[in-house]
A = this chain, B = another copy of it.
């Protein structure tokens, strides 16, 4: 949708057609947990455009319920099917964007097929889960995977009165965080009576003969439950591209250059199906974030409309709420820094979120990861109150600029008693890191 909108704005004479298999275009998948919880009352609120409003507001056609079955680059043709009529139809193109997104990884487990298992990877899943929590009293849920979506749903279900257990095959929730920071998230989950089962992979689901979900079998032990959510990771949807001979990258996503062009003339790819690269490690990565996807789409749209747009890569900046904590990260973790060939040093500080005398102070815990030889900042993880959501963006700018610890230590950051201490946590962390060097 970003690409279509951007291209149309640059060149209103373009004839643009968006093809979508599902019944929905332009919805916020990140909003689904809030819809399930009821914080967002109507599913329509999550939908930015329908095909009708997209046409009305932007003069771009969008067709839902149409599945592309094959791309024929040599003839610049798509072969697909109208899912309502069942009829095959082909669509010619001059310029094509593949933005097929990702699919959640579904582990090959007994009992996974059947009622009361959700992945929350699309709006239909969200609608079905909302119906379920509305029609029955709160029960027991098992969330398989302690990542962003899993923990968002954990909180939503707790707010609805469900008992929730999080099962994670790794040794910590939020595997993208360093273990000591994940531990703070685990404490918050425990404070909110969430069961946590680490280093304990799921082996299968237990169902009655009639299919009723009864529980989850783990490597060690088992858990009774009435509902299972699965969020163990994503894979880019690349089958269409692969079968058309479009080259994939080392990560398995569709290979693109900085203009979002694939290796096949006239075909672009953007969003979570396209490979991108990490601004700090300079390595190819897959991103599951909407921020990267929409920026890539915008760049693809510029290039498809004849301008020159260049995508500059990602940092993986992300924030999420976990009950009363805000958890944010940007750049490399200690682990990914080592993988990328750096020699990381780390500094972790815990600083009041406001002037020490101000009512309502809470700690901000900030972990700074830097390259020891060059003192360049490589990443940060921050846990604290809501302001953390934008504190991490300061780090994103620092990483983009390639600043070193001594540059960060002198940043002229805002202070006022209700909002920050005189020495901002980021400045404190940089100064401590410099002292410990």
Chain A interface residues (CB < 8 Å from chain B): 28, 30-31, 34, 39-40, 45-46, 48, 279, 289-292, 294-295, 311-321, 326, 328, 330, 355-359, 386-387, 389-394, 396-398, 400-401, 403, 407, 410-420, 422-424, 426
Contact = CB atoms under 8 A, between A and B. Distances in A.
A407 B400 contact: yes
A408 to B, nearest CB: 8
A351 B412 CA distance: 25
Nearest to A357: B45
B30 A410 contact: no
Given A391-B393, A400-B411, A34 B290 contact: no
Given A393-B390, A397-B397, A418-B321, A357 B28 contact: yes
A219 to B, nearest CB: 32
A316 B401 contact: no
Contacts of A415: 30, 289-291, 318-319
Contact of A358 (B34, B389, B393, B401): B34
Nearest to A298: B431
| Identical copies in the complex | 2
Contacts of A387: 386-387, 389-390
A292 B46 CA distance: 44
A397 B402 CA distance: 11
A8 to B, nearest CB: 14
Contacts of A417: 28, 30-31, 34
B416 A321 contact: yes
A390 B401 contact: no
Nearest to A30: B417
Contacts of A313: 412
A412 B321 contact: no
A426 B412 CA distance: 18
A28 B414 contact: no
A317 B414 contact: yes
Contacts of A397: 394, 397-398, 401, 403, 411
A294 B355 contact: no
A390 B416 contact: no
Contact of A315 (B39, B315, B412): B412
B359 A39 contact: yes
Contacts of A328: 414
A414 B394 contact: no
B318 A416 contact: yes
Contacts of A394: 390, 393-394, 396-397
Contact of A359 (B40, B295, B315): B40
B358 A40 contact: yes
B419 A400 contact: no
B413 A355 contact: no
A327 to B, nearest CB: 10
A320 to B, nearest CB: 5
A396 B414 contact: yes
12 contacts: A28-B422, A30-B355, A31-B357, A291-B415, A317-B414, A386-B386, A387-B389, A392-B414, A393-B426, A394-B397, A396-B411, A400-B401
Given A292-B412, A401-B403, 14 more contacts: A30-B416, A31-B358, A34-B417, A291-B415, A312-B410, A317-B412, A318-B415, A319-B415, A319-B420, A389-B416, A393-B426, A396-B412, A397-B397, A397-B403
Given A396-B414, A407-B400, A424-B393, A386 B318 contact: no
